[in-house]
Amino acid sequence: MTAQAPPARPPRAFTSDLSIDELLLVEEVGFEPVEFVFGTSYFHTGWVPAAWTENFELTQVSAMMLGARRVAMQRLLAHAQQLGADGVVGMRLDMEREGHNAEFTAYGTAVRRRDGKGAAWHDRHGRPFTCDLSGEDFWGLVRGGFRPLALCHGVCVYHVAHKSLGAWFSSLSQMTMNMEQPQFTQALYDARELAMQRMQWEAGDAGGTGLVGVEVRESSHGWEGHIIEFVGVGTAIRPIDDATHEVHEPPQVVLFAADAPSPG
Amino acid sequence: MANQRPQAQPQQPQPLPQHAIERIQGMRGAQGQRFFTSDLSVKEYLLIRESGFEAAGLVMGSSIYHVGYQRGNWSTNMEMNVLTQALYHARELAMARMEEEAHELGAHGIVGVRLKIRQHTWSTDLLEFIAVGTAIYPRDDKQNWRAPNGRPFTSDLSGQDFWMLLKSGFRPVSMVVGNCVYHVAHQTLGGWFKTVGQNVEMTNFTQALYDARELAMERLQYEAQSDGASGVVGAEIFEWTHGSWDPHVIEFFAVGTSVLPIAVTEALPTPQLVMTVDS
């Protein structure tokens, strides 16, 4: 199949990990699921020597942890593109660590525009969009007049100083005192900001005007406790330019008949 | 005494780290070229816009704090003021930095503020306090939603709650907190003999915990009153004990959002009854 051929309906059934509600909502805004896609990458996270008494970023490790995620996502995207998909919804990235090796897996459901005008939904580089939105959130976003562009990541792996012997002795004399530890505050604050800043760059590069659902996660991945990885994750979005796009009505106040509000 | 805030010093604008300043500049962009980040869900984001606001950016503040040591008297119910002060001041620092980020962004307020406490494996006597939320500003730049003191308002309301609050004629002023670290007396041997084998209220313990909770709530109330608010919504009270403390030492932490009525209110639409099909 050439890239220019009109997307003919594949003879086989689609696969997806969408729930029934999600499927109906994705269909409702003019998309159809194509296939459940995934991409993996296997990385050696390595041994990081760390007995320094300084706070600093391990830039190479940061680059590697970001690279590993990117490779997994690129493979998923390549698969989606091959299928003629216009985007991926419900994307998530898992990491499984075995000793010093880590496997990154990206999953999601590739979807395609039913009217064949999917190109308007691609990101700034013409790639299908990716997002970690559920079918419900995807529907809400599109009905609200926005479209997702890309799931963006920013990574910063940071080494927190070990206390020197002198510092340890002076900490004895401070034992009873309440005080902020500015050097540590500064270090971790800065590391989180770096992760978020890099995620923002990625979103800007995809052509986004903003990011929703941002989370900053932290983990030591079984490295020594002084090394912490900060990862910012969020979905870049931008307004839909199409003037004919139908934006939904203001929300209504609703009382549920059940005691607990239904999910969503 | 109970009416005093644990720490009287006024909240100072806090200096921000280098990358925070760069990130904020990135979000402010050139004229009209804003770029936002937010930890709002899609629904929350849409409701914030529906209320006439735009997301300005995800804001954060952090403080790593050395919490001092205080010994509780074995058989006395008492407040551990050193620890109360420490936990209050550290949260205040984190929140003030978050507010400063929002202020730098030109935002009028912060919604969905969450306070977290972390202990890192590399130093057990340090606690990290983190405050995260999404800064917002009104689309209509003639409006002013800042708190009476001219700083951005803060609130732990979700996007849904914020929308509802505004619709019902109130606006958030600030996220108010109150805390109290309390040492609960150990029971004396004599006391044990008196009560063993009986159904009896342990008035000693009841009083201690009751008192500690009241203190935390009273301080929260005091904060709200000194902010000029007319009430507090969504107040919650948490209790926890820190890993390296004596288990008889408990922190009671009250948090809520103080609110003020808006002069002009539109009538809240009548709620509709909806029966969902899923259980």
User: What residues of chain B, 241 to 270, have a C-beta less than 8 Å from chain A?
Assistant: 268-270
CA B166 → CA A159, A195, A256, distances in Å? 44, 34, 21
Residue in B with minimal Cα distance to A259 = B279
Whether chain A has a CB inside 8 Å of the CB on B9: the answer is no
Contact B61 A189 (CB under 8 A): yes
Q: For the residues B31-35, what does the mean pLDDT come to?
A: 75
Contact A203 B35 (CB under 8 A): yes
d(CA A98, CA B123): 26
Report the SS3 class of residue B150.
coil
Residue in A with minimal Cα distance to B17 = A190
The confidence score (pLDDT) of residue B126 equals 84
- Beta strand segments in A160-226, E: 179-180, 210-219
Query: Taking CB atoms and an 8 Å cutoff, what residues of chain B touch A150?
Result: none
Lowest model confidence (mean pLDDT) among A21-25, A120-124, B67-71, B248-252: B67-71
The confidence score (pLDDT) of residue A1 equals 45
The confidence score (pLDDT) of residue B231 equals 93
Contacts of B208 (CB under 8 A, 6+ apart): B77, B182, B184, B185
pLDDT digits (tens, 9 = 90+) for B178-218: 999 998 888 777 777 777 777 888 888 888 889 999 999 99
The confidence score (pLDDT) of residue A47 equals 61
Residue in B with minimal Cα distance to A177 = B68
pLDDT band at B266 (very low <50, low <70, confident <90, very high): low
Q: Is A3 exposed, middle or buried (0-12, 13-18, 19+ CB in 10 A)?
A: exposed
Q: Which of A208, A228, A258 sits opposite B276 (nearest CB)?
A: A258
Residue B106's nearest CA partner among B78, B138, B154, B64 is B138
Contact A212 B40 (CB under 8 A): yes
Query: ipTM score here?
Result: 0.71
Residue in A with minimal Cα distance to B272 = A254
The Cα diameter of chain B in Å comes to 75
Residue B110 backbone dihedrals phi, psi, to 5 degrees: -130, 130
Lowest model confidence (mean pLDDT) among A148-152, A250-254, B114-118, B194-198: A250-254
Contact pairs from chain A to chain B, CB under 8 Å: 173
Query: Taking CB atoms and an 8 Å cutoff, what residues of chain A touch B43?
Result: 137, 140, 264
Q: For the residues B232-260, what does the mean pLDDT come to?
A: 88
Report the SS3 class of residue A260.
coil
Q: How many angstroms separate the CA of residue A46 from the nearest CA in chain B?
A: 20
Q: Is A263 exposed, middle or buried (0-12, 13-18, 19+ CB in 10 A)?
A: exposed
Q: For the residues A78-102, what does the mean pLDDT come to?
A: 89
Q: Which of B17, B22, B67 sits opposite A178 (nearest CB)?
A: B67
Contacts of B196 (CB under 8 A, 6+ apart): none
Residue in A with minimal Cα distance to B97 = A189
Q: Which residues pair with B133 in a beta bridge?
A: B59
The confidence score (pLDDT) of residue B217 equals 94
Query: Taking CB atoms and an 8 Å cutoff, what residues of chain A touch B26?
Result: 197, 200-201, 204
d(CA A152, CA A154): 7
Contact B90 A180 (CB under 8 A): yes
User: What residues of chain B, 175 to 204, have a C-beta less than 8 Å from chain A?
Assistant: none
> At residue A254, what is the residue type?
V
Q: Which of B9, B19, B38 to mutate: most A Cβ within 10 Å? A: B19
Q: A242 vs B38, which has greater pLDDT?
A: B38
Selection from A249-263, B51-65, B115-129, B194-208 with the highest mean pLDDT: B51-65
Q: How many angstroms separate the CA of residue B213 from the nearest CA in chain A?
A: 23
The answer for B206, left when phi > 0, alpha when psi is -120 to 50, beta otherwise, is alpha
> At residue B222, what is the residue type?
Y
Contact A214 B37 (CB under 8 A): yes
pLDDT band at B8 (very low <50, low <70, confident <90, very high): very low
Q: How many angstroms separate the CA of residue A6 from the nearest CA in chain B?
A: 32
Residue in B with minimal Cα distance to A264 = B43
Pairing of strands A146-159, A227-239: antiparallel
Q: Which residue has the tokens 């190479």?
A: A60
Lowest model confidence (mean pLDDT) among A126-140, B55-69, B165-179, B195-209: B195-209
Q: Which of B122, B162, B163, B168 to mutate: most A Cβ within 10 Å? A: B122
d(CA A126, CA A109): 19
Across chain B, what does the average pLDDT equal?
85
Residue B93's nearest CA partner among B128, B42, B69 is B128
